[in-house]
Amino acid sequence: MSIRVILLGFFLTSVSADGITDLVLSCALVDEGGGHGGMGGGSMFSRTPVTLVLRDVAVGPDESLELLTPFVAPSVPDPDLIIFEAQASSPEIPNAEALLHADCNDQEVMCEISLYSSQELRDSSDSAYFMVSINVEGVESSATLILQTLAVEKDQATLVQNRLDLPLSSSGTLLTKVIFLVFSDTKSVSAPVKAEIVLSCGFKQQDAPLAQEVSVEWRLQHRGKGQKVLDMKTQLDDVEGNTEIHAVRRDSSIDVAQVANEGNVSLTLDKLKVSDEGTYICTVSLGPFHCQQTVQLQIQQPPQVSLSKDKLVVKSAQTLSCHSNKYYPLDSQMEWFFLSPSDTEPQPFAERASLSSHRQHFDGTYSLSSHITVPPTISPGTKITCRVTHAALDSPLHVHVMVESPEPESYWWIFGFLFITILFFYQVMR
């Protein structure tokens, strides 16, 4: 009996150890060290290297634990070092596994920490707050976290971090917990015009909610200009009775039920236009905290390609045009190839094609035409191809036309006419 109990206990610890690990990130503490009023009114920022240890990050069942080492604090606490230690189990940090592998995959992790402060916070709380933004190169997710320092039981041995003037834990770390975070699982998306797209953004807060009132604002920033797309305000415990949504852009929406149930504040844009392109900033405000994420939207509309002729009969030199219509963005390439019956490989057209200027349509898309003069010396059976390359196409588009010999059709009616004439004379002479 007692053996069973021990076995069961062992089993449970190994399972729980299997699912969690510590994540150690090298970050920069950014602060306005030099104060305001430097050259041109800009402010000076100083960057200090710090360590962020996220404890109890949940990992998938197929993570091999041998590769994951728990964080070991320095044996002698050092008040000059800055080590943030945060519980990351509740709320869970989305896509933390991507961070886990960034080092091995040689991806650069951008992690910046800054003090988060306001009059309201100073009046209402003894804790200090920090904002952390985490971004991994080549990974589609990013997050901004708010850390709150935890109370440290002070005794004579308690060290105080020199720079931040905050008490350190016995292992020399600044103990904090994640109380609020805003994240996105897509940094950039692309879609064709008229389509519908979802720009992802979500938030999580600690189990004892910071606040019930949440407000969300989506803005679009493009070529130095900013505009509001949509804002909403709701009461998480009463969305039905207490929600205001203001959609500035037509056909933009946010799912209120998803906001309340999952903290999913994703923006849906329908009937996309070229002018929707740009950087979208999602700001979630919860109590005294405001956090942001950005999502890039690119419009990618593939061209419609056609030739001016669907049949080409050689008589004299003639113009053949290739039309590439209604695409976006502007960059596109048009090339011509000839494949004569005696060749095995298509040859680039020897002469220079003339290009029309780009035409821009009302909807912001572009059209372009390329013209060539087909020489009368071209051999029948030659295949003429126009190839169009564009970012919205997975592979180049090809349209082609076959060169035909002058059609024998035109002689048939002479034969027919002759035949009828002979038949007529035959009848008359009989």
Residue nearest to ligand NAG (CB): 202
Q: Which of 198, 239, 256, 274 binds ligand NAG (CB under 6 A)?
A: 198
Buried-state track 9-18, b at ≥16 Cβ within 10 A, e below 16: eeeeeeeeee
345 CB-contact burial (10 Å; exposed 0-12 / middle 13-18 / buried 19+)? exposed
Q: What's the closest the beta carbon of residue 186 comes to ligand NAG, in angstroms?
A: 7
Q: Which of 172, 202, 287, 302 binds ligand NAG (CB under 6 A)?
A: 202
- Judged by CB under 6 A, which stretch of 78-86, 100-108, 197-205, 407-415 contacts ligand NAG? 197-205
Q: What's the closest the beta carbon of residue 323 comes to ligand NAG, in angstroms?
A: 37
- Judged by CB under 6 A, which stretch of 198-206, 229-237, 343-351, 420-428 contacts ligand NAG? 198-206
Q: Which is nearer to ligand NAG, 174 or 254 (CB)?
A: 254
- The dihedral of CA 158, 160, 165, 169: what is its sign? negative
- Judged by CB under 6 A, which stretch of 15-23, 196-204, 220-228, 388-396 contacts ligand NAG? 196-204
- Residue 183 CA to residue 214 CA, distance in Å, equals 15
Q: Which is nearer to ligand NAG, 219 or 387 (CB)?
A: 219
Return the SS3 of 100. helix
Q: Which is nearer to ligand NAG, 147 or 284 (CB)?
A: 284
Q: Which is nearer to ligand NAG, 264 or 318 (CB)?
A: 264
Q: What's the closest the beta carbon of residue 4 comes to ligand NAG, in angstroms?
A: 42
In order, the DSSP letters of 372-396 are EEEPTTPPTTPEEEEEEEETT-SS-
Q: What's the closest the beta carbon of residue 144 comes to ligand NAG, in angstroms?
A: 13
Count the site residues for ligand NAG by CB under 6 A. Answer: 7
- Residue 357 CA to residue 373 CA, distance in Å, equals 18
Q: What's the closest the beta carbon of residue 189 comes to ligand NAG, in angstroms?
A: 10
Query: What track of x and - describes contact with ligand NAG for positions 1 through 20 (by CB under 6 A)?
Result: --------------------
Q: Which is nearer to ligand NAG, 120 or 262 (CB)?
A: 262
Q: What's the closest the beta carbon of residue 203 comes to ligand NAG, in angstroms?
A: 8
Q: Which is nearer to ligand NAG, 236 or 378 (CB)?
A: 236
205 binds ligand NAG (CB under 6 A): no
- Judged by CB under 6 A, which stretch of 41-49, 194-202, 319-327, 393-401 contacts ligand NAG? 194-202
Query: At 428, which helix (H) or strand (E)?
Result: helix 409-429
Q: Please say whether the beta carbons of 130 and 116 come within 8 A.
A: yes
Q: Which is nearer to ligand NAG, 109 or 198 (CB)?
A: 198
| Beta-carbon contacts of residue 393 (< 8 Å; ≥ 6 apart) | 302, 303
Q: Please say whether the beta carbons of 383 and 354 come within 8 A.
A: no
Q: Which is nearer to ligand NAG, 107 or 264 (CB)?
A: 264
Q: Which of residues 254-283 bind ligand NAG (CB under 6 A)?
A: 264, 266
Q: Which is nearer to ligand NAG, 173 or 186 (CB)?
A: 186
172 CB-contact burial (10 Å; exposed 0-12 / middle 13-18 / buried 19+)? buried
Q: What's the closest the beta carbon of residue 233 comes to ligand NAG, in angstroms?
A: 19
AA letter at 55: R
CA atoms within 13 A on the CB side of 425: 5
- Residue 111 CA to residue 424 CA, distance in Å, equals 97
Strand order in the sheet with 397-404: 312-313, 397-404, 383-390, 332-339, 347-348
| Beta-carbon contacts of residue 128 (< 8 Å; ≥ 6 apart) | 115, 117, 148, 149, 164, 166
Query: DSSP state, 160?
Result: B
185 binds ligand NAG (CB under 6 A): yes
Q: What's the closest the beta carbon of residue 266 comes to ligand NAG, in angstroms?
A: 4
Q: List residues bridging with 237 in a β-sheet.
A: none
- Residue 239 CA to residue 259 CA, distance in Å, equals 9
Q: Which is nearer to ligand NAG, 253 or 325 (CB)?
A: 253
200 binds ligand NAG (CB under 6 A): yes
Q: Which residues bind ligand NAG (CB under 6 A)?
A: 185, 198, 200-202, 264, 266
